[in-house]
Structure 1
Amino acid sequence: MAGDTRQLANDSRVRKAPNRQSRSCKVCRLRKVKCDRVKPCHACCAHGYPSKCVYESVPDDEARPISQAEEIRNLREEIQDLRKRIDGRRDASDGPGETPPANAFSAAGTQARSLQRLDTLESLFESIRSAPPRVVDDLVRDIRATHGGLKREVTPVGPWEGLEAYETYDYQRQGSPSSVIPIRRSLHNGSPEQNFNDPVVPNGHDDDDEEDDEFGELMSVDSGSDSSRSSGTISIMSTQRPAVDVFVERFLDAFSPEVDIKSGRAGAIRAAAGIRMFSPLISDAFEAVSVAFFGRSIQDKQIEASGFRLYPRVLRGLQDALNDPERCKAESTLVTVILLLAFESVERTTQRGVAAHVRGAVRLIEHRGPENHMYGVEHLLFTELRPYWIGGALAARQPSFLAREEWKTIPWSAGTTTKDILHHLLDLAADIPGLLAQSDTFQEEERSSVMSAQESAVKQASIWNGITELTSRFQQWYQDWVVAYPDGPPQEVEQTADQDFPIFRQRNPRTGAVFTPTKISYPNLLLAQTMSVYYAFRLVLSSIDTRPEDRVTPLEQYGFACGICRTLEWYILTAPGNMINRLAFPTRVAWEGLPDRGPERQFMIEVLKLVERRHALGLWGSGMAELSVRENSPLNSDE
Structure 2
Amino acid sequence: MGGDTRPPATDLRARKPPSRQSRSCKVCRLRKVKCDRVKPCHACCAHGYPSKCFYERIPDEDAQPISQAEEIRKLRAEIRDLRARIDERQDGSRTQDLQRLDQLESLFESIRSAPPRVVDSLVRDIRAVHGVLKNDLTVVGPWEGHEAYENYGRQSRGSSVSTLPVRKRISNAETEVNFNDPVELDDDDDELLDSGSESTSSSGTITVMSMQRPVIDAFVERFVDAFAPEVDIKSGRAGALRAAAGIRMFSPLISDAYEAVSVAFFGRSIQSKQIEASGFRLYPRVLRSLQDALNDPERCKAESTLVTVVLLLAFESVERTTQSGVSAHVRGAVRLIEHRGPENHMYGVEHLMFTELRPYWIGGAIAARKPSFFAREEWKTIPWSAGTTTKDILHHLLDLAADIPGLLAQSDSFLEKHKVSVMGAQEMAVKQATLWNGITELTGKFHQWVIDWVESYPDGAPREEEQTEDQGFPIFQRRDLRTGATFIPTKLSYPNLLLAQTMCLYYAFRLILSSVDKRPVDRVTPMEQYDLGCGICRSLEWYILTAPGNMINRLAFPTRVAWEAFPDGGPERAFLVEVLQLVEKRHALGLWGSAMPELSVRENSPMNNE
TM-score, length-scaled by structure 2: 0.84
Structure 1 position 67, deviation (Å) = 2.4
Partner of 1:588: 560
State the alpha-carbon separation in 2 of the partners of residues 84 and 483 from structure 1.
58
Aligned pair partner of 1:521 in 476, 489, 493: 493
SS of the equivalent of 1:523 reads coil
Equivalences for 1:260-279 in 2 at 5 Å? 260-279=232-251
CA distance in 2, matches of 1:452, 1:320: 49
Q: 1:61-113: CA deviations, max 9, x gaps?
A: x8765421222233455567778889999x989xxxxxxxxxxxxx99x76x9
- Secondary structure in 1 aligned to 2:124? helix
- Where structure 2 has 5 or more consecutive residues not aligned to the other structure, the ranges are 1-5, 167-205
Q: Determine helix, strand or coil for the equivalent of 1:498.
A: coil
1:149 counterpart residue number:
132
Residue equivalent to 2:513? 541
- Offset at 1:289? 1.1
Equivalent residue of 1:557, what SS?
helix
2:367 is the alignment partner of 1:384: no
- Is it true that 1:369 corresponds to 2:341 in the alignment? yes
- 1:252–1:270 CA contact under 8 A, matched in 2: yes
Is the Cα–Cα contact under 8 Å of residues 133 and 278 in structure 1 kept in the other structure?
yes
Contact 2:106 2:141 in 1 (8 A): yes
From 475, 499, 502, the counterpart of 2:447: 475
Taking the aligned partners of 1:528 and 1:33, their CA distance within structure 2 comes to: 49
Secondary structure at the residue paired with 2:559? helix
Equivalent residue for 2:122, pick from 124, 132, 139: 139
Distance (Å, rounded) in 1 between the aligned partners of 2:31 and 2:151: 37
For 1:236, the aligned partner's letter is V
3-state SS of the aligned residue for 2:215?
helix
Displacement of 1:495: 1.4
d(CA) in 1 for partners of 2:232, 2:155: 46
Q: Would you say 1:320 and 2:303 are equivalent positions?
A: no
Residue 497 of structure 2 contacts residue 543 of structure 2 at CA under 8 Å; is this kept in 1? yes
Tell me how far apart the structure 1 counterparts of residues 23 and 518 of structure 2 sit (CA, whole Å). Answer: 63
Offset of 1:296 from its aligned partner?
A: 1.1
Q: How far apart are 1:197 and its partner, in Å?
A: 5.2
2:192 is matched with: none
Write the distance in 1 (CA, Å) between the matches of 2:537 and 2:84.
Answer: 57
Tell me the equivalent position of 1:101: none
The answer for the alignment partner of 1:286 in structure 2 is 258
Superposed displacement of residue 39, structure 1? 2.5
- The counterpart of 1:553, out of the listed 525, 530, 542, is 525
Q: Following TM superposition, by how much is the alpha carbon of 1:317 offset from its aligned partner in structure 2, in angstroms? A: 1.7
Q: Is the 8 A contact 2:20 2:57 kept in 1?
A: no
Residue 407 of structure 1: aligned partner? 379
Q: 2:68 aligns to what? A: 68
Gaps of 5+ in 1: 94-106, 162-177, 199-233
Change (3 A) 1:183 1:32: closer
Q: Residue 16 of structure 2 aligns to a residue in which SS?
A: helix
Q: CA deviation at 1:40?
A: 1.9
Find the counterpart in structure 2 of residue 196 from structure 1.
164
Report which stretch shifted further, 303-312 or 275-284.
303-312
Alignment of 1:475-514 (within 5 A): 475-514=447-486
- One-letter amino acid matched to 2:405: P
Gap change, CA 1:271 and 1:194, over 3 Å in 2 = closer
Change in 2 beyond 3 A, CA 1:318/1:124: farther
Residue 122 of structure 2 corresponds to residue 130 of structure 1: no
Tell me which residue corresponds to 1:221: none
Q: State how far apart, in whole Å, the 1-side matches of 2:154 and 2:537 are.
A: 51
CA distance in 1, matches of 2:128, 2:335: 44
Q: For residues 203-251 of structure 1, give each alpha carbon's deviation from its aligned partner in whole angstroms, at most 9, with x where no partner exists.
A: xxxxxxxxxxxxxxxxxxxxxxxxxxxxxxx943673211112111111
- CA deviation map 1:482-526 (0-9, x unaligned): 111111111221212221111111000011111111111111111
Aligned to 2:194: none
- Mapped pair 1:50 → 2:33: no
1:354 aligns with 2:337: no
Distance apart, 1:293 and its partner CA: 1.0
Q: Is the 8 A contact 1:282 1:332 kept in 2?
A: yes
1:274-308 deviation digits (Å, cap 9, x = unpaired): 11111111111111111111111121222222222
Contact 1:337 1:361 in 2 (8 A): yes
Q: What CA distance in whole angstroms lies between the structure 2 residues aligned with 1:602 and 1:47?
A: 50
Which one of the candidate residues 2, 5, 10 is aligned to 1:7?
10
Q: Distance in 1 between matches of 2:98 and 2:87?
A: 11
Contact 2:583 2:592 in 1 (8 A): yes
Partner of 1:605: 577
Q: Which residue of 2 aligns with 1:180?
A: 148
Q: Matched residues in 1 for 2:427 and 2:462: separation?
A: 45
Q: 1:380 to 1:478 in 2, by over 3 A?
A: same
The code of the aligned residue for 1:420 comes to D
How many Å separate the matches in 1 of 2:469 and 2:159? 57
Asked if the contact 1:321/1:328 (under 8 Å) is kept, the reply is yes
* Distance in 1 separating the partners of 2:412 and 2:116: 49
* Shift in CA distance, 64/293, structure 1 to aligned 2, threshold 3 Å: same
CA distance in 1, matches of 2:278, 2:214: 16
- Percent identity (aligned): 77
Q: Distance in 2 between matches of 1:46 and 1:419?
A: 33
Aligned residues: 561
Match of 1:173 in 2: none
1:39 is aligned to 2:39:
yes
